[in-house]
Amino acid sequence: MIFAAPGAKAFSAAGFIGRMTVAMTSIGVVTMVSQLTGRYGLAGALAATLALSVAVIGPQTSRLVDRYGQRRVLRPATLVTLTSLAGLLLAAHLGWPDWTLFVFAATAGCVPSVGSMVRARWAAIHQDAPRELHAAYAWEAIVDEACFILGPMIAIGLSAAWFPEAGPLLAGCFLAVGVFWLTAQRSTEPAPHPRGSHSGGSALRSHALQVLVLTFVAVGTIFGAIDVATVAFAEAEGHKAAASLVLAVYALGSCAAGAVFGLLSLKRSLSFRWLLGICAMTVSMIPLQLVGNLSFLAVALFVAGLAVAPTMVTTMALVEQHVPRAQLTEGMTWVSTGLMVGVALGSSAAGGVVDAAGARAGYAVPAVAGALAAAVAFLGYRRLRPAPQREGSGADGRQDRKNRAEQRVA
């Protein structure tokens, strides 16, 4: 059992609290700004600024974590994020000029990728136990989906029922508690890798990681477009509030698949399973083109969600396989960065299509994005196949080196 490892329950719980911020901040800012100003265009632009800020700053923060350790980097980065978030809330509350909102949103991108930090701890604990690491990644995929089920509902509910700034304010509190609790747990913190332990270049130089990141830009576009199209479709059906429940069903499907996937012992290669997962996500977009009512949409999204968590689990395992351990946190964060860039693109694209052609037409965007994801996956598949690994890479690489050594002895 993965939680038998000393400290595992504590750092996973801290990671859950810290990750609630990601699920709450963007939607909380949209809700806050739209309530205070009535300007959805400004709210959407601020959400996009937040996403792009995280996409630019996040990998650099994780790169510093790999070099200097989680505690030394995450605490100062969190303080910068909390200061920026407090400035954003104050500027919105007092009606300061729009440019001040964008300045604070841009600097809020220092928010640590808590999910990557937790996965790096699992990788350090189970570096010689691929089966347990697979189960741990599956568990973290379930935690991700749980955050995205609960987070938006909490953020929207608090801002609507209490005061507009309540959602983002609680998101900041979750970040502070989660990060400071996580970094207080020194026994499970992965050892830092100073500059001399690797080439010093970016983890993105890995061809395999480039394929994963590009594919996840398209996958993120699917997620962002589905969110916007579902809200628009629910409103067109006269039940806008039901959109959150329908999207929760989408995440629930992913949770269910993640729970089952973590129990399986799979024989096929990681690269093949990843390609199969991307193709399944692409095919699952087809029923959305036929949506006629909210009930049908909920069923279609539940089925679509079944491919999400297994694909995420396999993706993180591929990062662990192809990226040197000295750059593992950065590598995982680059995947999250690609996902966030895609979410911003998908939200914008779907919004434009909905305005021009109606709510149902918005589901064409995730279908196109799915096709692009599959195309990139097929073109880059050969770069993901097992190959001789660099020193310090993942568990499969260590096994390959062991097998080659045994062959030489024989």
The average pLDDT across 253-257 equals 88
Contacts of 39 (CB under 8 A, 6+ apart): 33
The CATH classification of domain 8-193, taken from the options 1.20.120.1200, 1.10.10.10, 1.20.1250.20, 2.60.120.10: 1.20.1250.20
* Domain boundaries defined on the chain: 8-193, 202-404
For domain 202-404, give the CATH number: 1.20.1250.20
CA distance 355 to 66: 44
- What is the rounded distance in angstroms from the CA atom of residue 41 to the CA atom of residue 151? 22
Angle between helices 308-322 and 270-283 (to 10 degrees): 150
Angle (CA) 297-299-304 rounded to 5° is 90
List of residues 6+ apart from 226 with CB closer than 8 A: 247, 250, 288, 301, 304, 346, 350, 363, 366
CATH topology identical between 8-193 and 202-404:
yes
What is the Cα–Cα distance from 257 to 305, expressed in whole angstroms? 8
The pLDDT confidence band at residue 405, using thresholds 50, 70 and 90, is very low
State how far the Cα of 312 lies from the Cα of 278, in Å rounded to an integer: 10
pLDDT value for 239:
81
Whether 22 shows a pLDDT value over 70: the answer reads yes
Is pLDDT above 60 for 395? no
Mean pLDDT is lowest, of 77-86, 279-288, 337-346, for: 337-346
Reported confidence tier of residue 217, pLDDT bands at 50, 70, 90: very high
- If you search the block for the tokens 């699917």, which residue do you land on? 222
Q: Rounded CA gap, 26 and 159, in Å? A: 13
pLDDT of residue 277: 94
Phi, psi of 270 (to 5 degrees): -60, -45
Of 403 and 109, the structure prediction assigns the larger pLDDT to 109
pLDDT at position 200, please? Answer: 55
Q: What is the pLDDT of residues 102-147, one digit of tens each?
A: 999 998 878 888 988 999 899 888 888 888 888 888 888 888 878 8
Q: Give the pLDDT confidence score for residue 386 in this predicted structure.
A: 66
Q: Is the pLDDT higher at 35 or at 211? A: 211
State the number of CA atoms in the 13 A half-sphere of 149 facing the CB. 20
Q: Is the pLDDT of residue 98 over 50?
A: yes
| Three-class SS state of 112 | coil
